[in-house]
Structure 1
């Protein structure tokens, strides 16, 4: 089971599960709206796929579906 990533993989911005401005590719690489629109131009640098808005998770989620506590950040892509 994949867990929602809590930060932008480029700038490390916090993107909690309820965030309205998180973007993902089909592999669920996670980006903030600013990075997705500007630097990445709507394409995932990992797979080349199109980025789409990540649906926010309801605040009252079942305990069997935890969110990830660790982010994935590539220091070579940081601003």
Structure 2
């Protein structure tokens, strides 16, 4: 079976996403260990992510990302009860 360039690129992006999520999890745990409430950590993470998204993609790009996230959220993708098979 031959792996295409796009498949390899997708695998690299997936691995980077996994690494980024691990960094986020460690930062979250550090904040909790310091007594910061999860709501405050979440708000700070979202605010930082939005600033960076606007810096990289501009306001229109950030708005498009928010719309995509809203669709994914309403579909249950981020639900803590969601099971991945």
Same fold (TM over 0.5): no
Relative contact order (C-alpha < 8 Å, sep 6+): which is higher?
1
Q: What is the TM-score normalised by the length of structure 2?
A: 0.23
The structure with the greater share of residues assigned to strand is 1
